[in-house]
Chain A
């Protein structure tokens, strides 16, 4: 049974961890105070710095932020596919109460894909170029379930039908498929073991807009049908708002705002979130000049003191340069790490 995570005084509010841990709403995945560092000659790069969140069964959690804000690193930390020089230096990751960071290699091999699968950003590079896509599905199934090859193949046919590719293409090599088809093939692989949770790391970034729509629609349909949870990672906030239940905004390795999707859209609080929102054009309505966010993401070997966003913030006050803002609840369910907002209550 999951022990309650130690409520040591981390930089992040423990209130974020799900309060209702009993019944059907018990969290599927709990990440608590996760730290990941990339060891570099200049010193450790703090890619993920004290991140906590939970995902409930069937929930879609969106993770947004600029490139280099630590989104993908979190994904790889959950599956424990980080390689040196990246090292998990602290925190806890629990899946159904099981401590992932304490798993042996064998346990990990079983946990991966059976419990959490992942759709990679670039499908072309995620598929082995010298193996047919069919074989790549089959070897995934056979790595986890003992069954005759024929049955695994039948399952592959089924999966291709689910994602809408002609099963005849199972014998194709990745380079023979279009970008959209490859991404569907990767999704088919992700579905292979019917996992309760899926991580999607920018699943449509490499595709053109029309195919993007198709794929997102398909993921949406599959989710409703199969009921898995999704950790959805993207820098495309408009996509995220439409698709997620809750959204966490990351900046420089930390979650700076965390709220239900609608709330983030209607009422973004953190100046960074506001900047992100105004970086995307609205499809309808008046023409507005996009503002974007001035400056560049900080150097993570020596991040700025106080609020990490202060060098780029338009509302910065002297105190912000010194005091680190805690992530706190400012309205029910809406957390933000910014000095501009007083804590609720």
Chain B
């Protein structure tokens, strides 16, 4: 319990630090928005117009710490300002629409890649030198080494464009509107296969190799031999003794990956025109939509923190040694 409280304290500090950085970093850059705007209009702006723009963008001459305070209270209220590219929608609304698609795509592909990769890693290492163990790792690493966008584009071109097996773009058919009907769910799933499948395909190798490495180290432990000497069944040793211990370092990696899910699989979403956060971020950058960018960055930071917190808590369940120290 004390461990959990300590972790929570740590995360509160980290969250505050990231908020603060998010505020100060842009303001430490040389120049200021006003002069940039002024320059863009080649100086042909009247003072009232400048004033109007300042009003619209919420620029103020307040002392920086007062601004910082205003920023903090706004963030705590969940007010990230208005998006410029989707004016006048609030940033939070824009993010909310992208969030669910990113969660779906990122979550499904991460969990699938993790489970399949680790399972193959455990089974392969258990029968070390078997056909599975000697062919899969190099093959998957080979596939994983291709630039993702190239592989994704290739898949899109061959399977969707040439063969027409999968839809070309978007998260669901344009002819449907979101609902909980069977048609809609089906359409979402079909649209999900290619983006998620390509991500899983390139990520499996990493998980497999990670698992294989820790499994090999774990299998050399005395407690594995002891379990074997005790006459336990192979299954029991493989899962409760070997894989159970070998999984721990991979859980940490899973946490990191989980955090970055919300960053949006940028390339995936761009290639498949999938309306998630990554796609939004690209749009935001293209349109110089600073409020949206700031909101997204903050969101990503918080997601990483949140995911790490979850992993920390999970670790308490999985590794008794953490509880004690």
Contacts and interface: CB of A to CB of B under 8 A. Distances in A.
Interface of A: 76, 79, 81, 83, 105, 108-114, 117-118, 120-122, 125-132, 139-140, 143-144, 173, 175-176, 186, 189
A172 to B, nearest CB: 9
Q: Which 5 A-B pairs have the closest CB atoms?
A: A112-B231, A125-B222, A173-B320, A126-B226, A113-B231
A112 B225 CA distance: 12
B236 interface: yes
A152 to B, nearest CB: 13
Contacts of A186: 226
Given A111-B231, A140-B230, A143-B232, A81 B241 contact: no
Interface residues of B, number: 24
A128 B324 CA distance: 16
Contacts of B324: 173, 175-176
Contacts of A83: 225
A113 B221 CA distance: 19
A213 to B, nearest CB: 24
Given A81-B229, A118-B226, A144-B231, 10 more contacts: A118-B229, A122-B222, A125-B221, A129-B319, A130-B320, A130-B321, A131-B241, A139-B230, A175-B320, A175-B321
Contacts of A105: 234
B231 A114 contact: yes
A79 B229 contact: yes
Interface centre among A110, A121, A175 (most CB of B within 10 A): A175
Given A130-B245, A173-B320, A176-B324, A143 B233 contact: yes
B13 to A, nearest CB: 29
Nearest to B319: A130
B181 interface: no
Nearest to A135: B240
A126 B222 contact: yes
Interface of B: 221-223, 225-234, 236, 240-241, 244-245, 248, 318-321, 324
A144 B222 CA distance: 21
A143 B230 contact: yes
Contacts of A176: 320, 324
Contacts of B228: 81, 112
A112 B230 contact: yes
Contacts of B248: 130
Contacts of B234: 105
B185 to A, nearest CB: 39
Contacts of A112: 228-231
A117 B229 contact: yes
Interface of A is mostly: helix
Contacts of B233: 109, 143
21 contacts: A108-B231, A109-B231, A110-B231, A112-B228, A117-B230, A122-B222, A125-B221, A127-B223, A129-B319, A130-B248, A130-B321, A131-B240, A131-B241, A139-B236, A140-B231, A143-B233, A143-B236, A144-B231, A175-B320, A175-B321, A186-B226
A139 B223 contact: no
Given A79-B229, A126-B223, A126-B226, A173 B236 contact: no
A125 B221 CA distance: 7
A143 B240 CA distance: 13
B126 to A, nearest CB: 12
Nearest to B234: A105
B231 to A, nearest CB: 4
Nearest to A173: B320
A111 B231 CA distance: 7
B232 A140 contact: yes
A50 to B, nearest CB: 24
A113 B223 contact: no
A197 to B, nearest CB: 13
Contact of B226 (A109, A127, A143, A144): A127
A139 B222 contact: no
A109 B222 CA distance: 18
Contacts of B321: 129-130, 173, 175
A92 to B, nearest CB: 20
Contacts of A109: 231-233
Contact of A76 (B225, B230, B236): B225
B225 A128 contact: no
A120 B231 contact: no
B320 A128 contact: no
Contacts of A118: 226, 229
A114 B230 CA distance: 8
A52 B269 CA distance: 69
A139 B233 CA distance: 10
B314 to A, nearest CB: 13
Contacts of B227: 128
B225 A81 contact: yes
B282 to A, nearest CB: 43
A189 B50 CA distance: 82
Contact of B223 (A81, A110, A129, A173): A129
A298 B232 CA distance: 37
B116 to A, nearest CB: 23
Nearest to B248: A130
A129 B244 CA distance: 10
A247 B225 CA distance: 26
Contacts of A144: 231
Nearest to A112: B231
A84 B318 CA distance: 31
B49 to A, nearest CB: 67
A142 to B, nearest CB: 9
Nearest to B232: A143
A64 B149 CA distance: 63
Given A173-B320, A173-B324, A120 B230 contact: no
Nearest to B228: A81
Given A111-B231, A139-B236, A120 B320 contact: no
A112 B234 CA distance: 13
Contacts of B230: 112-113, 117, 139-140, 143, 189
B229 A113 contact: yes
A113 B231 CA distance: 6
